[in-house]
Amino acid sequence: MWIWKWGSTDGGDAGVIVQQAVSAGLHQLWVRVGDSMNGFYGANELDSLVPVAHAHGVAVIAWGFPYLWDPVGDAQWSAQILDWRAPDGQQVDGYSADIEEATEGVMLSAPRVAVYLELVRQAAGSRPVVATVYPPTDASWDGAYPYQAMAPYVDAFAPDDLLGVHRSRHRRRARRRSPLDAPTCRRHRPGLQLRWRWR
């Protein structure tokens, strides 16, 4: 379950959110808790969600939206997310960076995203780091989008097509790709199960 606006998701009621996830057979909740404009703003959300989710066997992946104007500054608020602890010491189970393009105001480049993700990787320790990325097309796969720069620092890519934009084209082109074409992520994580999120 992908949560962007906490207050608009069942009124921010963690118990209701978790129960819906459990009823749907989900094993992860992804919740936005930071961005370049506001830093780490979701401590209260994590305070209410993480203990309840963990009590029901549901992992919590925190996610943030770095604009990459200042990759080091973005890494600092991302590290604060990863440093967050509940009163009993529980923490988020992983972190995902939503890597958008210039159309969303992001200063995306291979060097900027590499600096950011290398620092996030250090802050995450053994927990998974996921790059939420644009679904691959011929143009993006061939260098227009920095998959290769991200790959050494992340455990997985989570292709995102929330709006369904060019859905069938992405599907066709993704199927044509050989696994050997794909950038190699930093390590295999058998417990981290991600899927293409087509809608």
- List, for residues 66-94, the tens digit of each pLDDT value: 999 999 999 999 999 999 999 899 999 99
* Distance between CA atoms of residues 62 and 53, nearest Å: 13
Measured between alpha carbons, how far is 8 from 149 in angstroms, rounded to an integer?
Answer: 35
Cα 88 to Cα 185: distance, rounded to the nearest angstrom:
33
| Residue 159: pLDDT band with limits 50, 70, 90 | confident
| For residue 142, pLDDT beyond 70 | no
Which range has the worst mean pLDDT, 76-80, 104-108, 156-160?
Answer: 156-160
Reported pTM = 0.81
Give yes or no for residue 127 having a pLDDT over 50.
yes
- For residue 144, pLDDT over 50 is answered with yes
Instruction: Name the residue type at position 155.
Output: D
Summary mean pLDDT of the chain: 82
Nearest to 155 by CA among 113, 116, 115, 97: 97
The residues spanned by each domain of the chain are 2-181
CATH architecture of 2-181: Alpha-Beta Barrel (3.20)
